[in-house]
Chain A
Amino acid sequence: MNKNLYGFAALFKTPDEIIEAAKKTAEAGYQKYDIHSPYPVHGIDRAMKLKASKLGFITLVFGLTGSAIALLLMYWTMSVDYPMIIGGKPFFALPAFVPITFELTVLLATLATVIGMITFFFRFPENDHPLHDTEYMKKVSCDHYGLVIEAKDKLFNETKVRELLNSLRPLSIEEIYYPEKETYPVLETKFVTFLILIALLTSGVTYFALNKLLYMQPFTWMMDQPKLNPQKQSTLFADGYGMRAPVKGTVARGFLPYPFTGQNAPTDVLLNPYLPTKENLQLGEQKYLTFCSPCHGNFGDGDSRLRGQFPNPPSLHSTRAREFSDGMIYHIITNGQNVMPSYASQITREERWAIVNYIRVLQRAKNAKSSDLQVVNKETGTNASN
């Protein structure tokens, strides 16, 4: 019988008695003993001479791990894997990362503390402990205070322990025994069948959920609308097309056709409608630099980096080019010439005329006369004759 003895349990009625009992037991040198009370009694850990709880270390380590995980995750996703500028903030926007870092720190620290305490410090769940379902447990669970000295203790000696407990004058002393080992019929057919059924059910549900359920649309109204889609078949029209061709001669809004092609520029009807004002010239300069300068050079000399390749981009300062009418230059920009493609789609009509004006300015500047200087001097009030 002694083999199965777990220990002796004594019950007390007041917190003062239990503090005294704890102190005496600790002083007697017992290691494997425990105090049970329905709530934490102040000062009991001091009376039992318990070392301070080391739980805080788990919290610290996992809290820091949480911070590190959060920061690394955000750094990697936002600055390395898929960097994107959001709201003009840097890729590694530390102030904006603080909230999530904090949350993950708290989350990890709390969960680790609790799980660590329950599994590592308490070794729970443990519903088969010998103390469970004893009269003793029922009492300390409600309004009594109990002391248990385990038989496993090195100093355990039945008579001595009894003596010590009696000297504390408890309400009662109880002997606690290990419960008989229960046999678990794990390999019974019933149980195995149950397990197999569970396995089948789980895989079936998982298969259904992952391969079917996920792809079921709850409703598809947004997608299935009763309308004709462009480029799609339709039974509504006899020709089977969803799209209709516009009526012959239809002109799109804001679109003016340019009927002239080839070298036949009707230069007499194409007159520059824009005056070379400052704004117009600025627009022309901007567009010239964007679209024309890559070949013709910044000042129209044809000296871009394409020079030296065949054919050289022509200079705009040749006599031929200078003698072009405005309409001719406009026509060339619109339709292209030789290897120069059409720029009609990139440059609007207004911009084309502005470029023409700007080219005129460039041509004039390259061929300035001394009389021009006088005009300039008059306007600016300086003397730049040399």
Chain B
Amino acid sequence: MHQTEFNYQRKDLPAGFSKYGLIFLVAGIVLAVASFFIDQTRAAFNYLIIYMMIVSIALGSLFLIALEYVAGAEWSTPFRRIPEFFAGLLPVLFVLVIPLLFFSHDLFHWAHEEAIKEDKILQGKAPYLNISFFVIRTLVFIAIWVLFYFILQRNSRKQDTSKDQTLTTKNIRFSAAFIPIFAITITFTAVDWLMSLEPHWFSTIFGVYYFSGTVIAALAAVTLVVVVLKEKGYFNPWITDDHLYSFGALLFAFVNFWAYIAFSQFMLIWYADLPEETFWYLTRWEGSWVIFSLLLIVIHFIVPYAMLLSQPSKMDPKRLKFISVWLLFAHLFDLFWLVMPNMQPLKKGYIFSWIDLVFPILGIGIVLTVFNFISRKENLIPVGDPKLKKGINFHL
């Protein structure tokens, strides 16, 4: 069989990663701290959005790694390091979550004792929605993710030198164990941090809804980095049009999946018209929120769907770069749409504040800096992975 030559030499990431990462991080921290002093509640809500965005990218990446092992996928092996680096954000979550725990009173209606006293339904939920259990859950979940991240990542790096195939077997087993745990933890993370912002509302599909966005965010982040690095020559000639096509196809598939889940949730609630469910959507139909709701459909579904529909567009690097930035924004917008209408002063409609623009800067700073930090001294390609050769010679 004709083989693509493989002679990988490690190169440092482009300097832009550390430079822009640092600039964004410093600017982000300064602005974020300032905004906390100006409007604590609003800053807390915005910080929550960015926190969830980072969870999406990090946890989604870990899921992509596990999926590769479990499904026995080969095409994604050459760039598996990229999701591994993104998953390196998971240990950072321990630090990032601290401010949220401090500001939980600003975020969560159920954290107010006087509110629970008057509310029979919240009393019923109190065994689950209370601060101590909430904190324990959050920390345990992060610990579990970090544990699996360390195992999968360490085995993968060990393989760079040892080329030991049993490490792949081990990782397959851990990945198989991780996926059900992932399903449960991500569901309750979504319930805790997003659904319980409106503690009276409930939807069984909500975990799946957040999961669909998570995968899009992680895939888009990985696609963006791979395409950028390929253009700078880091992955040449091992990542071909066929790999890019697979990225495009997967993004397309998950855009559809998100739309399917979002539509299912909306349709069922709209159709049954039960007041205990519809009010959540009605809040998002109130005042100027209606524009956001309609824009969400356009941004998160119609535009990416149209842009990825045709076969050539799925492997066009320029378009992939654009669409992955777009989809990252779309997921951020989705989180914004989920979170912000729960903020008391914004219930009747959106009021602009510069604080909303600050936190994405902080998010970009954190992601870039951590990515750069984790990836230093590491091979960008898992050179010892037994599936690598097949991955490089991947043809549709």
Contacts and interface: CB of A to CB of B under 8 A. Distances in A.
Interface of A: 42, 56, 87-89, 95-96, 98
A56 B311 contact: yes
A98 B273 contact: no
B267 interface: yes
Contacts of B273: 87-88
B310 A56 contact: yes
A87 B271 CA distance: 8
B311 A96 contact: no
Instruction: List 5 A-B pairs, minimum CB-CB distance, nearest first.
Output: A95-B267, A95-B270, A88-B273, A96-B271, A98-B263
A57 to B, nearest CB: 10
Range class of the B interface residue count? under 10
Contact of A42 (B266, B270, B310, B395): B395
A95 B269 CA distance: 11
Contact of B271 (A42, A56, A95): A95
B191 to A, nearest CB: 25
Nearest to B263: A98
A95 B311 contact: no
9 contacts: A42-B395, A87-B273, A88-B273, A89-B271, A95-B263, A95-B271, A96-B267, A96-B271, A98-B267
Nearest to A99: B267
B252 to A, nearest CB: 15
A193 B60 CA distance: 73
A95 B273 CA distance: 13
Interface string B242-280: 000000000000000000000100110011010000000
A40 to B, nearest CB: 13
Contacts of A87: 271, 273
Nearest to B396: A42
B310 A95 contact: no
A319 B310 CA distance: 89
A179 to B, nearest CB: 40
A42 B311 CA distance: 18
Contacts of B267: 95-96, 98
Nearest to B267: A95
Given A96-B267, A96-B271, 4 more contacts: A56-B310, A56-B311, A88-B273, A89-B271
Which among A89, A95, A96, A98 has the greatest number of chain B C-beta atoms within 10 A?
A95
A88 B311 CA distance: 42
Contacts of B266: 95
Nearest to B312: A52
A56 B273 CA distance: 40
B78 to A, nearest CB: 21
Interface string B76-107: 00000000000000000000000000000000
A3 to B, nearest CB: 44
Contacts of B395: 42
A374 B267 CA distance: 61
A152 to B, nearest CB: 32
Interface in B123-181: none
A368 B311 CA distance: 88
A42 B267 CA distance: 44
B182 to A, nearest CB: 30
A53 B231 CA distance: 29
A236 to B, nearest CB: 53
A89 B174 CA distance: 49
Contacts of A95: 263, 266-267, 270-271
B390 to A, nearest CB: 16
Contacts of B311: 56
Contacts of B263: 95, 98
Nearest to B309: A60
B124 to A, nearest CB: 29
Interface string B366-396: 0000000000000000000000000000010
B394 to A, nearest CB: 13
A36 to B, nearest CB: 23
A87 B266 CA distance: 16
A44 to B, nearest CB: 14
A42 B2 CA distance: 14
B48 to A, nearest CB: 29
A96 B270 CA distance: 9
A42 B396 CA distance: 9
A386 B198 CA distance: 54
B134 to A, nearest CB: 34
B240 to A, nearest CB: 14
Nearest to B270: A95
Contacts of A88: 273
B170 to A, nearest CB: 34
A82 to B, nearest CB: 21
A88 B395 CA distance: 53
A284 to B, nearest CB: 35
A155 to B, nearest CB: 32
B278 to A, nearest CB: 12
Nearest to B268: A95
Nearest to B395: A42
Contacts of A96: 267, 271
A265 B72 CA distance: 98
Which among B266, B270, B310 has the greatest number of chain A C-beta atoms within 10 A?
B270
B308 to A, nearest CB: 14
Nearest to B272: A87
A96 B267 CA distance: 7
A256 B363 CA distance: 82
Contacts of A89: 271
A87 B311 CA distance: 42
A88 B263 CA distance: 20
B245 to A, nearest CB: 14
Contacts of B270: 95
A87 B267 CA distance: 14
A42 B395 CA distance: 10
A89 B271 CA distance: 8
B361 to A, nearest CB: 37
A81 B98 CA distance: 61
A95 B263 CA distance: 8
Interface in B295-322: 310-311
A255 to B, nearest CB: 42
Nearest to B311: A56
Nearest to B310: A56
